[in-house]
Amino acid sequence: MSVREIITNPYADQKPGTAGLRKKVAVFQQPHYLENFLQAIFDADPRLHGGTLVIGGDGRYHNRTAIRTAIAMAAANGVRRVVVGQGGLLSTPAASHLIRSLGAAGGFVLTASHNPAGEDGDFGIKYNVSGGGQAPESLTDRIHGISLGLTRYRTVDGVQVDLDRRGSQNVGELQVEVIDSVDDYAHLMQSLFDFDLIRDWFKDGHRLCFDAMHAVTGPYAQRLFVDLLGAPATSLLNAIPLEDFGGGHPDPNLIHARPLVERMHGADAPDLGGASDGDGDRNMILGPGLFISPGDSLAMLCEHLHLLPGYRRGLAGVARSMPTCRALDQVARALDIPCHETPTGWKFFANLLDAGRVTLCGEESFGTSSDHTREKDGVWAVLAWLNILAATRRSVQDIAQAHWARFGRHYYARHDYEDLPVATAQALVQALQDRLPDLVGQRHGELQVSQADSFAYQDPVDGSRATNQGLRVVFADAARIIVRLSGTGTQGATLRLYLERYETGDLGLETGAALAPLAALADRIVHISQITGRSSPSVIT
């Protein structure tokens, strides 16, 4: 088996965004496109040479082709061992866990997360480093820099790997191990949660409905909820992974997880509803007739996590991304533990988790996880809720109402304006940024601007700085308006407007109604309709 160096031209557009490199499938199908990016990774991270590399993806269209390319290039670049999920499947949190538990040098996670899949859909790749976390910005900058100058990549020809057959195969010197996609992850979950207690809860007639959205969590949900915990198979919706996710948009929110939402709002709704996204790192939590916003779910988990076996020692600290609502801060204050505020994107939690400074972290974008892995983890969040319901013998409604009565309630929504002309979106952000100093002190009805700035973050562990991480207009504890541009889209620019209103009195309002005055105020301050010509957002979550 001989190594070939293929002469090629670099691609200029391989700058990783919030979560890796994400593009249309057609972009990834260009000759040498994926190869160029992978070679930049092999060149940027010398630990891969002679090391173990984990590979797996969310099963979307192009997954298997990309994995074959990656294995051939791993063989040519001196990787010693590749561990790949059967059928090419690994959820993002399971891949992160494998990298950690195998002491691997790194991992390729092939996913465009919740973005639609199929020939006309999106594809993506994230590079996770040893320890399991997403490559930090210093490394993604280096990878991008190298990718811009590459003129050759290394590969071997004629690689035959059967991704469906478990066991060891050789590609030249490289050992390729195809493993069960779920086993290690299922063991990890059993070490964190009280499976006997949850099993009893199901035996007593309590019910779950989990929507895998035809994406990667199907096999994980089958093993954990049905095989190990004894929930009936009818508890699962859309549990067969499909290359195009069944034509759907595997984003677990009130809009895209419609069948689940309808079931949870119907008569005879199950006790808990959950859903996860394309690559298994997001989660949505519902009670009968009740949606628990991700920020609330994070705060409620923080309040109860010490009841669960893996967290009996309590929480060292917690963290949330800046746009995530400040419900978590209230609980952290009551528990007297540190609460960190980081930029958007899971990679910013990694150092805090590695240093043992935080146990639980989350984002408003339906992401929650703990220090058990270095990615957000959808199935983990559903198991944590199940375990809390089983341990407290309370309903989701009880838990939510008691939580709001004690800590107050953060009404919260994100308004996305998708596919805007890039120049328009950038001009809007720039114009707001220029006006920020004038906003401080302004009064708008009962609200007064206490702070208006562009969020910057200094990592308390390694001192690295990230600037321009979103514009925020803060009205003390009462409310916040946040604006930032998405770093995961593949078409035009997506503007995200985040609205948060804190209430200690009116706890039972409908979210849209509760936020309507703040949304109107945001438009007056940010000038969205005026600048974009859009009278309403594309999606509200």
Residues within the interface to Co ion (CB under 5 A): 113, 277, 279, 281-282
Q: Which of Co ion, ligand VG1, none lies near 293, with the C-beta cut-off 5 to 8 A by kind?
A: none
Least distance in angstroms from the C-beta of 486 to ligand VG1: 3
Least distance in angstroms from the C-beta of 279 to Co ion: 4
Q: Which residue is it, tokens 């207009």? A: 473
Q: Which residues have C-beta within 8 Å of that of residue 449, sequence separation ≥ 6?
A: 439, 440, 441, 442, 443, 473, 474, 475
Q: Kindly report the number of other CB atoms within 10 A of residue 491's CB atom.
A: 11
Q: Is 282 in the site for ligand VG1 (CB under 6 A)?
A: yes
Which residue from 486, 492, 511, 517 is in contact with ligand VG1, where contact means CB under 6 A?
486
Q: Which residue is nearest to ligand VG1 (CB)?
A: 113
Least distance in angstroms from the C-beta of 12 to Co ion: 26
Amino acid at 104: A
Tally the residues of the chain. 541
3-class secondary structure, 338: coil
What is the DSSP-derived secondary structure letter of residue 349? G
Q: Which residue is it, tokens 């859009």? A: 534
Q: Is 488 in the site for ligand VG1 (CB under 6 A)?
A: yes
Applying CB under 6 A, the span of 47-55, 276-284, 403-411, 503-511 interacting with ligand VG1 comes to 276-284
CA-based nearest residue to 468, from 512, 427, 420, 430:
430
Q: Kindly report the number of other CB atoms within 10 A of residue 482's CB atom.
A: 23
CB 340 within 8 A of CB 363: no
Q: Which residue is nearest to Co ion (CB)?
A: 113
Token pair of 81 as six digits: 């061992």
Which one, 45 or 277, has the nearer CB to Co ion?
277
Token pair of 404 as six digits: 């709001």
Paired sense of beta strands 339-342 and 318-321, if any: parallel
Which one, 51 or 280, has the nearer CB to ligand VG1?
280
The active-site residue out of 91, 96, 113, 293 is 113
Q: Is 380 in the site for ligand VG1 (CB under 6 A)?
A: no
Q: Which residue is it, tokens 């009205």? A: 475
Burial (CB < 10 A; 0-12, 13-18, 19+), residue 199, is middle
Q: Is 412 in the site for ligand VG1 (CB under 6 A)?
A: no
Q: Is 417 in the site for ligand VG1 (CB under 6 A)?
A: no
CA-based nearest residue to 84, from 155, 164, 1, 185:
164
Token pair of 84 as six digits: 């790949």
Q: What is 223-240 written as a DSSP string?
A: IIIIIIT---GGGEES-S
Which residue from 345, 362, 470, 537 is in contact with ligand VG1, where contact means CB under 6 A?
345
Q: Which of ligand VG1, Co ion, none lies near 18, with the C-beta cut-off 5 to 8 A by kind?
A: ligand VG1
Which one, 277 or 500, has the nearer CB to Co ion?
277
Q: Which of ligand VG1, Co ion, none lies near 58, with the C-beta cut-off 5 to 8 A by kind?
A: none
Element (H, E) at 437: helix 422-439
Q: Is 377 in the site for ligand VG1 (CB under 6 A)?
A: no
Site string for ligand VG1, 15-54 (x = CB under 6 A): ---xx-----------------------------------
Least distance in angstroms from the C-beta of 89 to ligand VG1: 16
Q: Which of ligand VG1, Co ion, none lies near 365, with the C-beta cut-off 5 to 8 A by kind?
A: ligand VG1
CA-based nearest residue to 34, from 51, 55, 49, 3:
55
CA-based nearest residue to 364, from 333, 322, 392:
322
Site string for ligand VG1, 303-342 (x = CB under 6 A): ------------------x---------------------
Which residue from 128, 222, 330, 365 is in contact with ligand VG1, where contact means CB under 6 A?
365
Least distance in angstroms from the C-beta of 281 to ligand VG1: 5
Active site residue 297: no
Binding site for ligand VG1 (CB under 6 A): 18-19, 113-114, 277, 281-282, 321, 344-346, 363, 365, 367, 486-488, 496
Question: Which residues are the active-site residues?
Answer: 113
